[in-house]
Structure 1
């Protein structure tokens, strides 16, 4: 029996459902194409050639970001975190069995930043300027088969104009690559579209369009079976038909009824998958999995947002796609930890700022229950300032996507829609961020915005009629293309909500980018017609850095400090303030600020505070959710949160002594040896009683033993410009984070840490046996 599976979708499905698909046979492979690459950081017109000797090129594993391997320097632009770009090449050699010479092959890149060109065996497949979009090339006609024939994929990356984006983008093949093998008759990549037009308690009507491909030269008689399978791998509905499939493409429309559906929502994000099986004379030619969720939502101009008929406030954050020390080559487990931290803080939505993100981030949003605003562009046909000598200083460049917009916008937007439209997490398509920005020296012509907005809106509607079109607007109160959006996004401007709603009562408004603090939150909480806020930002990010050296403070800068979490994913005080606004479950948090005040954040009705053993009485929690008490004697504090006079939460703050030791915490209890998994080792500096010393800056030297590597060390300090590649790093706020990625051979993994002036620590990481997963 022959089976083929689109691996990109298989992995997404497995991650969401949490179990192995029983019909998947790894030996009939669709393989991850991340290993065995060669890398060279310079340029030559010969590097694409098959017979090139690349033995002196550096071995790398994808995803890979060249930028964070470099040193921070004042000579590089602040918009790129004072890190360089440049031109670089990747090559990969591989062999294919002769038994596959009648199959079809594609190579799928989830993202390459930027201006990529790809060759297969010396043949140019194409180019893609946009570094944020996924793309694939058919390589069937260029491959050679048999052990005596070596195939070569070559990729040129040109980020030489590297002040081309307002935030750090990285440089290189910074997302996963897949080799996709199918029969000549198969379901097209991104070729399915699943909707649920009617949902009741008893059933959900599932409608699907399935685009099939016959790349052979003959008519094939095939059976097409579509099944809806649930998280237990049970078939919940099915239909089958037989067709005479002539060469070319064909779209099937089908309607299935799913009984007793489990709805997708932010608390219980239940998922299903449409499994498309193509057979010929009982031989399975192709299987294709399309994960989807059953859910209904709507925006109302007076009452806000509803999910599955229930009103809901959208408590969101904006995210860029980097992760500090990892640059923009971010493994999926890293995003899982980061998203879980945000979820624990009451966040239920993500704005993908300001571009399509890595596919596995959308998979995690499906799995973990986040709503998503998916954004296509930061620029249309006019550029924006990319600061060179510090954010909002004097020097800037204008290079960027606007140079490619006219030629590539329709293709880039279409590919984003086709790739992402089956994600239940996505509720909004944003066609642009601050395209109308009024204070930029390159403002777009106001009347020119209207036809462009109409064009982009029509592209969206051609591919998806189930979600509204929005844009994140800098001046929505005066926006000339507001009438051409289904939902008008306000970037800040919360004070204008009431006035604009009165002027345009028939329009739907939402907060698309918002400041932190009480007033922006009350603007959502107290006005039914405003259903969301998306804070800038959920997590600190590289780029949009301040001046290289601030003479007043004596500090450096490599990125923006606007996050609720720092670059290492550790919570800042603002995280707990926002949690007090957003979180429903009772909690209380204590810390001491730099002015010697004990600060208490809580969402309880009352908090009883204890100074040492002495009760200071019950304090009513104000609308700001913050209580502050002077602590001149430097005593320990305890807080008990109460609702209806019942103790429901508690917290302690203990005044620390001098640093005595470091305490490691492994976030994940096991490292899977599949070449991709990551364990986070959080390091805390504590005193002799085990109390955290949150102002400690201790230099720690690290090494690792066994089948794993340290792929990044992050302390979260935006002023730390020491190279990311160093194995010695200072703690910041008494914390440090190690990213440890497993290999593929058996053995024990041990992290060795030598803190300066403190005792050494070794951490044994449970790794088990290697996973027999398919890769090349």
Structure 2
């Protein structure tokens, strides 16, 4: 009985002490004012011009598209331009420019320290608390924090934070978003505490039977810290303690850090296939034994190594990156971050076989990094698109001298514990790469990375490869990253001391889902009157190449390190090759997956090469082409099998076999323009279009039928059909509400997909959910993204539905009911349970 009493008392003490540190995400209760305000007098009328919003918030995404928004007349050297041209839709045609203010009240218990943590604010943030300016941070992609303790009201109540943000025109090359588009947190602690990002964990020794975990903890204190006790315990992926170290610290070193080393037996290693995560719980006690702070840090145990001539090794195993580059916007949701939308994107990429993400070309939201830790994606984190020389008139170069190192240090300390992060990039295609000071500046940034985190290699995305090979810029990096310039890979390998080459940005292939063009020809900058690109996946921009070029480099040469494809998803802005006086084009065509989260045919090409644990067979094109009767219409099968047979209306068109590397080289020499494609796809060139049915049977290496797919010509459109990314949704009031991506398709009476329909679809949402956004994947569509209607594009579109709590719903039925309606078609309804 006495033991039980002591145990209960201990629980009470732990509960009291657990309030020493509290991190609260400030989502609700914000007010927003578009435009500048005359003063920050807190006693002024608080209603005029202010609206209630939740954060994250993007003030531009619900506004109309307009060609006049941020017109830029510039010369894009990276694209090979020789003179300035008028760029329409370059930043998405959305009004992200201007000034916006946010404000919110918050309480802090008396005697506590308070820190405001911003995951990102777009941009040029200036922050006040109770009318006192506490700081500023200009870079919109940077995470930053301010100690606001000196500015709190004496009783800690009704403190008001105000944030001024300003986006200048000509400040971006893509849609950056606007506002408090990432989370804001309030951290409260005692006076003896671990500051933000104050724990640094490394694993100096990793063996099969043990690993050594080194924890360096920064301790801040208002009073002297003699006699402070720091206790750290490591919890393994199964929730079991794996080691602990505790002791009185007689003094703290000159950096303010306490170092501890803990051995972990039989470590579970982090990898994309097995993303095992450990947790370090660090507790700080004062001289009286009072728990002043408790910090939980998630980390992984793994090794990374770059070996000359051989490439990248994770946990001692050689692997090549199967990665994508992604911008930060979430398509129709805009730049306002949403954890469930990020997870949705990563799930689609994982299904494709992708194992790595490059944050192009900016610091990521921390939730993306956390999800990559959990789901198993290696990351290249990249902070800058320009250094001290401008790409954009009002770009980051304005802040370089004062802020570059500060931004780098905050980024490095923020993410150096995340096991998913396997390399740092210090920049993308910076004009500085060809300047006299380029190599020295690259070395300076590299050394900052090594100082803050000596465990990871450093790279940069270089597009001006000739000069970087000559001037020392490429040699200054731990890993030379080449953006495209595949014809320079061998020269780079031969000249550089690293003796490896990373495809830091590859392909820039372009296509429009479901829009097929004839004849089927590989092209480096094809344009068409409809502002679309060929869904046969044979086109790229002028500086780039089709995907097969990168596949071959990865397959044929051990010193190539794999690739990061431009891009995983389409994004708002940069509508190449339609970026010059080409309105209404305003979103990219680069994505493997379109803006509506619907895969293009290229998705199946990458899946056939990257998913080694599952088979792939996808047949293209769709087989509904009115007016093409009797014309040559090639058929392509994207598959990991090497052989297949095509049948049209029951008649065999013969077997097709992929070419070997040697055969492909010979075919290229013989003048076959599609030879490289035939190495990675099954291609039937001379098929004559006949309505009806096409069927492809794939054969394994023993000649046995292994998979098949049938595509049928559609009859008259009859009905809408709905499918959901989620079978059910889980409501959570304290986090981002769950999302379901509802794909709308047009079908005939037999259920065959109708690929040419473009009529308007309207959405009704009832029950425990609400409409959030819609998109169709058409880079020229001007339909508003935030209204419950959207035109179909190539027979499909997507609605994003948000699940809500029962007490917030007009009709809390336990389900969300989504209905899609289009003129002349049978409507469709889908019920999704809410748990």
Distance 1:547 1:590, change over 3 A: closer
1:276 aligns with 2:336: no
Match in the other structure for 2:494: 502
Residues 324-371 of structure 1, C-alpha deviations (whole Å, 9 max, x = no match)? 211111311111111121222221111111110111111111112111
Given that residues 22 and 189 in structure 2 are in contact (C-alpha distance below 8 angstroms), is that contact kept between their aligned partners in structure 1? no
- The offset of 1:490, in angstroms, is 0.7
User: Partners in 2 of 1:117 and 1:414 — Cα distance?
Assistant: 20
* CA 141–706 in structure 1, closer or farther in 2 if over 3 Å, else same: farther
Given the alignment, which residue of 285, 288, 292 partners 1:285?
A: 292
The aligned residue for residue 683 of structure 2 is 627
Whole-angstrom distance in 2 between the partners of 1:691 and 1:169: 39
Task: Name which of 158, 162, 173 aligns with 1:150.
Answer: 158
Report deviation, 1:605. 2.2
For residue 474 of structure 1, the aligned residue among 446, 458, 463 is 463
Q: 1:650 aligns with which of 679, 696, 708?
A: 708
Q: 8 Å contact 2:122–2:178 — kept in the other structure? A: yes
Deviates more, 1:221-230 or 1:570-579: 221-230
| Deviation (angstroms), 1:694 | 2.4
Cα contact 1:228–1:235 (8 A) shared by 2: yes
For structure 2, the residue ranges without an aligned partner over 5 or more in a row are 1-8, 71-88, 508-545, 626-631, 660-678
Secondary structure at the aligned position of 1:205 is classed as: strand
Counterpart CA distance in 2 for 1:120 and 1:89 is: 17
Which residue number corresponds to residue 145 of structure 2?
136
Answer yes or no: is 1:721 the counterpart of 2:802: no
5 Å-filtered alignment, 1:217-366, equals 217=223, 219=225, 221-243=227-249, 250-280=256-286, 281=288, 283-366=290-373
Match of 1:31 among 21, 24, 31: 24
CA shift digits 1:226-271 (9 cap, x unpaired): 1111232211111111236799973111111111111111111111
SS of the aligned residue for 2:551 comes to helix
Greater shift after overlay, 175-184 or 753-762?
753-762
Matches of 1:247 and 1:535, distance apart in 2: 44
- Per-residue Cα deviation, 1:471-515 (whole angstroms, up to 9, x for no partner): 111123331222211111111111121223223354432111111
| 1:511-537 deviation digits (Å, cap 9, x = unpaired) | 111114212221121111111211111
Q: Of residues 670, 674, 692 in structure 1, which corresponds to 2:729?
A: 670
- The counterpart of 2:379, out of the listed 372, 384, 394, is 372
Quick check: 1:701–1:754 contact (8 Å CA) kept in 2? yes
Equivalent in 581, 585, 590 of residue 609 of structure 2: 581
d(CA) in 2 for partners of 1:578, 1:118: 45
Residue 786 of structure 2 aligns to a residue whose secondary structure is coil
- Structure-1 residue corresponding to 2:621: 592
Instruction: Flag the 1:23–1:362 CA change in 2: closer, same or farther, 3 A.
Output: farther
Q: 2:422 aligns with which of 418, 421, 427?
A: 427
Q: Counting strand residues as a fraction of each chain, which structure ranks higher?
A: 1
Residue number in structure 2 paired with 1:82: 93
The residue aligned with 1:16 is none
Alpha-carbon distance between aligned partners in 2 of 1:546 and 1:510, rounded to the nearest angstrom:
24
* Cα distance in 2 for residues equivalent to 1:617 and 1:201: 52
Q: CA contact under 8 A between 2:30 and 2:54: conserved in structure 1?
A: yes
Contact 1:50 / 1:122 at 8 angstroms: preserved in 2?
no
Q: Equivalences for 1:751-770 in 2 at 5 Å?
A: 751-768=818-835
Equivalents in 2 of 1:458, 1:577: separation in Å? 39
Matched position secondary structure for 1:30: strand
- The TM-score normalised by the length of structure 2 is 0.82
* Residues 1:641 and 2:737 aligned together: no
Paired residue secondary structure (2:400):
helix
User: Residue 204 of structure 2 aligns with which residue?
Assistant: 197
Normalised TM-score (structure 1): 0.88
* Residues 272, 378 of structure 2: 8 Å contact kept: yes
Answer whether contact 1:581 1:625 (CA < 8 A) is retained: no
Change in Cα spacing, 1:201 to 1:46, as seen in structure 2 (3 Å) is same
Contact 1:96 1:145 in 2 (8 A): no
The change in CA–CA distance for 1:257 and 1:469 in structure 2 (over 3 A counts) is: same
- 2:329, 2:493 → 1: CA distance? 36
**Residues 87 and 50 (structure 1), Cα distance of their counterparts in 2 relative to 1, 3 Å cut:** farther
Higher relative contact order (CA 8 A, sep 6+): 1
**Does 1:447 pair with 2:456?**
no
1:74·1:82 contact (CA, 8 Å) conserved in 2?
yes
Change beyond 3 A, Cα 1:761–1:248: farther
Q: CA deviation digits over 1:434-460, x for unaligned, max 9?
A: 114xxxxxx776212133222212211
Distance 1:132 1:104, change over 3 A: same
In the alignment, structure 1 residue 93 sits paired with structure 2 residue 149: no
* Alpha-carbon distance, 1:51 to partner: 4.5
Q: 1:540 maps to what in 2?
A: 570
Moved more, 358-367 or 573-582: 573-582
Q: Is the 8 A contact 2:634 2:683 kept in 1?
A: no
How far apart, CA to CA, are the structure 1 residues paired with 2:781 and 2:435?
Answer: 42
The alpha-carbon deviation at position 414 of structure 1 amounts to: 0.7
In the TM superposition, what whole-angstrom CA distance separates every residue of 1:266-324 from its partner, at most 9, and x where no partner exists? 11111111111223556433221111111112112211111111111111111110122
SS at match of 1:560: coil
1:405 deviates by: 0.9
Which residue of structure 2 aligns with residue 487 of structure 1? 479
Aligned length: 727
Alignment correspondent of 1:123: 132
Shift of 1:419: 0.6
1-structure distance, mates of 2:100, 2:592? 37
Describe the shift of the 1:219–1:511 C-alpha distance in structure 2 as closer, same or farther (beyond 3 A).
Answer: closer
- The C-alpha deviation readout for 1:551-575, integer Å capped at 9, x for no partner, is 9xx9720121011111112111122
Is the Cα contact below 8 Å between 1:640 and 1:648 reproduced in 2? yes
Change (3 A) 1:133 1:665: same
1:765 and 1:364 map into 2 onto residues whose CA distance is 24
Residue equivalent to 2:195: 188
- In structure 2, the residue matched to 1:567 is 595
779, 788, 794: which is aligned to 1:733? 794
Alpha-carbon distance in structure 2 between the residues aligned to 1:538 and 1:458 = 30
Structure 1 residues 401 and 460, CA, compared in 2 at 3 Å: closer, same or farther?
Answer: same
Cα contact 1:226–1:238 (8 A) shared by 2: yes
- DSSP 3-state at the match of 1:357: coil
Task: Say yes or no: does 1:60 pair with 2:53.
Answer: yes
Q: Which structure has the larger Rg?
A: 2
Rounded to whole Å, the distance in 2 between the matches of 1:671 and 1:555 is 41
Conserved? CA contact 1:39–1:88, under 8 Å: no
2:398 pairs with 1:403: yes
Contact 1:325 1:712 in 2 (8 A): yes
Structure 1 contact 76–83 (Cα < 8 Å) conserved: yes
Contact 2:772 2:802 in 1 (8 A): yes
Aligned counterpart, 1:18? none
The answer for the alignment partner of 1:610 in structure 2 is: 647
